């Protein structure tokens, strides 16, 4: 179909100046060329780097293990001095791998390799003079090499962020620093601390593991000054601390049950589950109020707590308050707690909670069955 072009009696034409187009085209070509060169160049460089690393890795690994496990001295210095820069770099990463898996004599021997490679010295230097990332890496290395810096150095240089504090205390923990339950806990919780990362909570837990009294006493003092998320994290860490507390202050846990923050109450309830050995503490808790908290999450936490206590009044509460809770997840939480005691008490489960009860019970039966290692269990068995 032929569409005639109109004659030149057009009113106007919009045009882009030729020069502009040429410039745009030129810019594009230049940009594309740069991209092409950078991309392919980078790819080629990395390719050959990787090939080289692969080539030297296995012999280095063999040599490392041979030296480590031979009866005589590994002579790390002698070996390292004979290596090229690339070999040392690959060896460093191998060292990292092995240090993460080993403990005891082997780890100590390997730490010698770290010294020979200059990592230990560099790490100590980085703590004082390095950038934030340098310090973090240094702290990791020192934890692996089990070479703790002094507390003063840590306090002075490594308290910038919660992450750094946690890394610093972690080093102390890995090196079995003797007073970590006081010093470590203090380092983590001093100066108006921010909430932790999971790494931080884990570090707090490990620091306080040998003797949680200091942590508890500190919490007793500072708990109300902490923001809710930190409160919850400390409660969470405390939940997993099983060692004996002696006469440390634990009443702050009960007070936490009155916190305006919902999740703080939840965590407090769950943590208190492990404190049935402390009758005075237990007496200070108003169970009824707790079991009728507005928040279903808090009630669910409370049911978990009752389940862990397992005494008759706790079980009664579970039966009457828990199983008739109007929130379905809270009901299931109560059922789960109750199910663990079904052989100890005769329980009459109200009809309206039948679903929650059957659910909890069925799961409990399955859990037990799957862990049973006597023969013949895997035949499909009926579940009564």
Partner 1 sequence: MVTLQNIAVGVLAVFGTAVVGYYIVINTYYFVLHVLALRELGDDVTESEWDPPFRPFDSPFYPGVAVLVPAYNEEATIVESLQSLLTLNYPDKEIVVVNDGSTDGTFELLTSEFDLAPLDAEIPYDVPSEPIRGVYRSQTHDGLLVVDKENGGKSDALNAGLWLTDQELFCAVDSDTILDRNALLEIARPFLEAPEEMIASGGTIRVANECVIENGQVKEVNLPKTGLPGLQVMEYLRAFYSGRLGLDRINGLILISGAFGVFRTDYVREIGGYRHDTVTEDFDLVLRLHRYLIDHDIEYDVEFMPEPVAWTEVPSSWRVLGRQRRRWYQGMIETVVTHRDMLFSPTYGRIGTIILPLFTAAETLGPLIEGIGYLLIPVAWYFDVLNVEFLFTFFILTTGFGVFLSWFGVFSETWSFNRYDDPRQIVRLLWYGILENFGYRQWKTVVAWRGLIQYFRGEESWGVMERSGFGADSALSETDEAPEDEDVDDPVHAK
Partner 2 sequence: MDVVIADDDETIRTILQHKLSSEGYQLSICEDGGEVRELLNQADIEPDLVMLDVMMPRVEGTQLLREIRRGELAVRSDVPVVMLTSRGREDDVLEGLESGADEYITKPFSPDELLIRVQNLLEA
Rounded distance between C-alpha atoms, residue 145 and residue 351, angstroms: 61
151 is a contact residue toward partner 2 (CB under 8 A): no
Smallest distance from partner 2 to CB 177, Å: 17
Smallest distance from partner 2 to CB 68, Å: 8
Dihedral pair phi/psi, residue 170, rounded to 5°: -60, -40
Choices 160-168, 184-192, 194-202, 374-382 (CB under 8 A): range interacting with partner 2: 374-382
Smallest distance from partner 2 to CB 342, Å: 20
Choices 20-28, 80-88, 211-219, 244-252 (CB under 8 A): range interacting with partner 1: 20-28
* Binding letters toward partner 1, positions 173-192, x by CB under 8 A: -x------------------
Continuous H helices in 130-260: 132-145, 151-157, 162-174, 185-189, 198-208, 213-222, 228-239, 251-256
Member of 136, 154, 256, 285 binding partner 1 (CB under 8 A): 136
Contact (Cβ atoms closer than 8 angstroms) between residue 131 and residue 116: no
375 is a contact residue toward partner 1 (CB under 8 A): no
Burial letters for 62-99: b for 16+ Cβ neighbours within 10 Å, e otherwise? ebbeebbeeeeebebeebbeebeeebbebbbebbeebb
* Binding letters toward partner 2, positions 91-120, x by CB under 8 A: ------xx-xxxxxxxx-------------
239 is a contact residue toward partner 2 (CB under 8 A): no
Rounded distance between C-alpha atoms, residue 349 and residue 342, angstroms: 11
User: Could you say which residues in the range 65-84 bind partner 2, by CB under 8 A?
Assistant: 65-66, 68-69
Burial class (CB in 10 A: 0-12, 13-18, 19+), 29: exposed
10 binds, among partner 2, partner 1, none (CB under 5 to 8 A by kind): partner 1
User: Could you say which residues in the range 191-220 bind partner 1, by CB under 8 A?
Assistant: 195, 197-199, 201-202, 205
Rounded distance between C-alpha atoms, residue 349 and residue 327, angstroms: 17
User: Which residues lie below 8 Å from residue 173, measured CB to CB, with a gap of 6+?
Assistant: 180, 184, 203, 206, 207
Please provide the DSSP assignment of 259-311 as one string: -SSHHHHHHHHHHHTT-TT-HHHHHTS-HHHHHT-S-HHHHHHHHHHHHHH--
Which C-beta is closer to partner 2: that of 39 or that of 66? 66
201 binds, among partner 2, partner 1, none (CB under 5 to 8 A by kind): partner 1
Contact (Cβ atoms closer than 8 angstroms) between residue 313 and residue 341: no
User: Could you say which residues in the range 21-60 bind partner 1, by CB under 8 A?
Assistant: 21, 24-25, 28, 31-32, 35-36, 38-40, 42-44, 46-47, 50
Token code pair at residue 365? 């039966």
150 binds, among partner 2, partner 1, none (CB under 5 to 8 A by kind): none
65 binds, among partner 1, partner 2, none (CB under 5 to 8 A by kind): partner 2
373 is a contact residue toward partner 1 (CB under 8 A): no
Member of 144, 189, 208, 285 binding partner 1 (CB under 8 A): 144
Which C-beta is closer to partner 1: that of 65 or that of 354? 354
Rounded distance between C-alpha atoms, residue 113 and residue 107, angstroms: 10
How many CB atoms are closer than 10 A to CB 290? Answer: 24
Which C-beta is closer to partner 2: that of 68 or that of 83? 68
320 is a contact residue toward partner 1 (CB under 8 A): no
User: Could you say which residues in the range 57-76 bind partner 1, by CB under 8 A?
Assistant: none
Number of chain positions touching partner 1 (CB under 8 A): 76
6 is a contact residue toward partner 1 (CB under 8 A): yes
Rounded distance between C-alpha atoms, residue 188 and residue 196, angstroms: 9
199 binds, among partner 1, partner 2, none (CB under 5 to 8 A by kind): partner 1
Member of 192, 329, 344, 350 binding partner 1 (CB under 8 A): 329
Q: Which helix (H) or strand (E) holds 370?
A: helix 354-371
Choices 1-9, 60-68, 182-190, 283-291 (CB under 8 A): range interacting with partner 1: 1-9
Rounded distance between C-alpha atoms, residue 38 and residue 234, angstroms: 49
């Amino acid at each position: 179909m032929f569409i005639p072009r109109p004659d030149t009696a057009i009113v106007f034409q919009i045009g882009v100046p030729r020069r502009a187009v040429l410039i745009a085209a030129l810019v594009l070509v230049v940009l594309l060329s740069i991209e092409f060169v950078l991309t392919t160049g980078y790819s080629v460089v990395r390719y050959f780097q990787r090939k080289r690393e692969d080539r030297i890795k296995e012999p280095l690994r063999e040599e490392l293990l041979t030296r480590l496990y031979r009866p005589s001295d590994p002579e790390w210095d002698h070996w390292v001095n004979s290596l090229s820069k690339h070999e040392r770099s690959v060896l460093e990463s191998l060292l990292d791998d092995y240090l993460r898996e080993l403990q005891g004599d082997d780890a100590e021997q390997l730490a010698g390799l770290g010294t020979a490679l200059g990592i230990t010295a560099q790490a100590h230097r980085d703590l004082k003079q390095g950038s934030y990332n340098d310090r973090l890496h240094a702290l990791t290395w020192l934890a692996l090499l089990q070479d703790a810096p002094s507390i003063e150095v840590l306090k002075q240089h490594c308290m910038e962020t919660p992450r750094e504090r946690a890394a610093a205390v972690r080093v102390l923990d890995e090196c079995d620093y003797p007073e970590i339950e006081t010093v470590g806990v203090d380092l983590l919780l001093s100066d108006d601390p921010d909430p932790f990362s999971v790494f931080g909570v884990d570090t707090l837990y490990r620091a306080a593991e040998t003797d949680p009294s200091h942590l508890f006493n500190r919490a007793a003092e500072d708990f109300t000054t902490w923001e809710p998320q930190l409160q919850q994290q400390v409660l969470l860490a405390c939940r997993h601390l099983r060692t004996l507390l002696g006469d440390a202050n634990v009443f702050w846990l009960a007070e936490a049950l009155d916190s305006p923050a919902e999740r703080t109450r939840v965590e407090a309830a769950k943590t208190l589950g492990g404190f049935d050995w402390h009758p005075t503490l237990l007496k200070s808790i108003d169970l009824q109020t707790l079991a009728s908290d507005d928040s279903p999450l808090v009630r669910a936490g409370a049911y978990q707590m009752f389940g862990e206590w397992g005494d008759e009044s706790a079980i009664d509460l579970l039966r009457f308050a828990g199983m008739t809770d109007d929130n379905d997840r809270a009901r299931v939480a109560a059922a789960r707690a109750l199910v663990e005691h079904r052989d100890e008490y005769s329980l009459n489960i109200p009809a309206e909670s039948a679903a929650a009860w059957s659910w909890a019970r069925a799961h409990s039966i399955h859990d037990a069955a799957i862990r049973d290692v006597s023969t013949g269990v895997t035949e499909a068995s009926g579940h009564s």
